[in-house]
Every structure is written in C-alpha cells, then in structure tokens.
Amino acid sequence: MSGSTGHRLFIERLVIALIIVAIALLLWQLRGLFMLVFAAVLVAVILNLLARPIRTRLHAPAALALLAAVLIVTGAIVAAAWLLGAEIVRQSETIRTLVPAAWQAIEARLDGWGLGDAVRQWTAGLGRDGVVANIGNIAMSVGNGLADLLLVIVGGIYFAARPELYRAGLIKLVPKEGRALAADALDASGKALRLWLLGRLVSMTAVGAMTWLGLTLIGVPSALTLALLAALLEFVPFIGPVLSAVPAILLGFAVGPDKALWTALLFLIIQQIEGNILEPQVQQRAVDIPPALLLFALVAGGVVFGVIGVVLAGPLTVVLYVLVKRLYVREALHTPTPLPGEKAKD
C-alpha cells in the first residue's frame, strides 16, 4: 500500500515538474510578445501623462481626455512632418550623398597608415554576406516591425482607456493576503515609470537642441536631421549617443578632418553636460538607476530580446528595480529604502 502511494506521489511530482518546464518553455517562446505588451504599456503611460492635466484642470471625462491626448500626439507628428518634413528629406538626401564621400576620405587616410586594403576587404565581405545576401530578410523585418508598431499603438490606446481594468486583473492573480502589497508595488512602479519617461523627455530635448546648435556652428551638413536622430537615440542609454555620433562624424569628414574632430568633441561635451549636469538634476525628481545596473541590463536585453530589448531595457529596468526595492528590500528584508518620488528616510 505504501509502495503504491509512493509511486503515485512520484508520478504527481513528475507531472508537476513537466508542467512547470512546459510553462517555462512557453514563456520563453512568448518573450517577444511580452516586450510588445510592455511597449504598449509605455504608450499608455505617455498618453495618460498627456490626458491627466486635461482631465484634472478642465474636468473633462476620461474618454474625452484620452481622445484629446491621442489627437495632440497625432497633431504634433503631422505638424512636425509638415513644417520640417521637406527639410529633413533634403538633409537626408545630403547625408546619403556625403556619407560615401566621407567614407572614401577615411579610406584614403587608412591607406596612409597601411590599413586601407584590410578595411576594404572587411566591408566588401560585410556587404556581400550581410545586407545583399539578406535583403529579403531585411524587407520582412521592416514589414514585421511596422505591424508590431501598429499593434503597440493600438494596444497602448486600449491600455490607456481602461488602466484600472488591467491593474485590477493583475492584482487578482495574487492571493488575497498579498493583494494590497501588490497594488502598492504596481503603483510605485507606475509612478517610477512616469518619472523616468519625463526625465528622458527632458534629456532628449536638451541633447537635440545642443546637437543642432553645435553642428550648425561647426558647419556640419544636415544639422537638423542629425540633431533629431541624436534626440531619438538618447532614449537608449550608453548605446544611443554613440550611434548618433557616427553619421555626424562621417559627415564631418566629408567637409574636412578638422570638422570631424570638432564634431567628435562636440558629442563628447554634450554627453558630459548631459551626464554630469543635466542628468543629476533630472534624476533628483525622477529615478536614479545605478549606471552599472543599467549597462548590464542593456546587454541582457539585447541577448534575450534582441533589438527591442535594447530599446526597452531602460524603462523595463526601472520597473524591475522599483519592484525589487518594494517587494524584496522593504517587505522581505525589512530594510528602509526610498522609492522614486519619496524622500530618503534615515
């Protein structure tokens, strides 16, 4: 009798283990979907940031405030395209024309150092085995990216329309005794995410303005387009500023080596200003994430989720950072620690 009971317990534990493994594999396969859901949450947070003052100051219904927020975002994009679209297209064409000339100038200098042939062989192999060989995959990726973007926008609008519905649904997944704590943790992470997004917006605006002014003074072509690129890529910490500097430096080479040197110096100065002056002021009212933690989060996001993981690593790290502080450091370890928007306690 005891033998059959032990055999039954073994079978039950084996089945439970197999179910857990199956769920883990399913979650791994759906990791890309989770990132799309999180991106939709970011869209919802941005829309609610715009809708909140309309709802509170004008006493407008929630649905009307959300509609106004959607119209504001859409109108801003349309207005920017109307006012700056022709100039951006013209400058983009200038970039497309001058970048090859800039690369030829770099190759000429590399020839003087005896490195020209090696670089040419490497770039030729890259073009033959990379872009040319995978042009179909690239086109498919672009199409999938546009479909994902549409899904994120529509999902974000749905989330923004009924945030309390989805919040309540998440809390109901937690046992009753832990629901109050789960609600508090969700509220803390949501507040941190809003503050982080506001801080990023300030940094992106400042970096874009300084880049445009600096490149204009230096005399680098397509300063406006390069500044917009720098502002957008500022959303991705560490990697974004480096990527935005590459085309600007190449265009500087097209004008002259001295322009390239001044451009590189400009981006270095802007990052020093942003990192040592602007960012500390912003983070006093936002979320101060340890730089090393954010750096490794970028690497982990790229390894696990790909490009979208790198783009969303910053806000995802903010949410996880706050949840760990609230649920583990405060609740499990009983250690006082400040959360975003709170004053530090002694």
| C-alpha 244 chain-centroid distance | 15
Is 66 inside any structural domain? yes
Is 140 inside any structural domain? no
Is 53 inside any structural domain? yes
- 21: its two tokens: 């493994």
User: Among residues 150, 135, 102, 126, which one has the least CA distance to residue 263?
Assistant: 102
Is 10 inside any structural domain? no
Is 103 inside any structural domain? yes
Is 342 inside any structural domain? no
- Within the chain, strands assigned E span none
* pLDDT tens, residue order, the chain (346 aa): 455 666 677 777 778 888 888 877 887 888 888 999 999 999 999 999 889 888 888 888 888 999 999 998 888 888 877 766 666 666 666 666 666 666 666 666 656 665 555 555 555 544 444 444 444 444 455 556 778 888 999 999 999 999 999 999 989 988 888 889 999 999 999 999 998 888 888 889 999 999 999 999 998 888 888 899 899 999 988 888 888 898 888 888 777 788 889 999 999 999 888 877 877 777 666 677 888 888 899 899 888 888 888 899 999 999 999 999 998 889 888 888 888 766 544 3
Is 254 inside any structural domain? yes
Range of the domain at 78: 32-133+152-332
Q: What single letter denotes the amino acid at residue 123?
A: T
What Å distances lie between residue 255 and 113, 178, 226, CA to CA?
21, 63, 15
Is 145 inside any structural domain? no
User: Among residues 250, 248, 259, 251, which one has the least CA distance to residue 207?
Assistant: 248
**DSSP codes of every residue in 88-146:** HHHHHHHHHHHHHHHHHHHHHHHHHTT-HHHHHHHHHHHIIIIIITTHHHHHHHHHHHH
Q: How many domains does the chain have?
A: 1
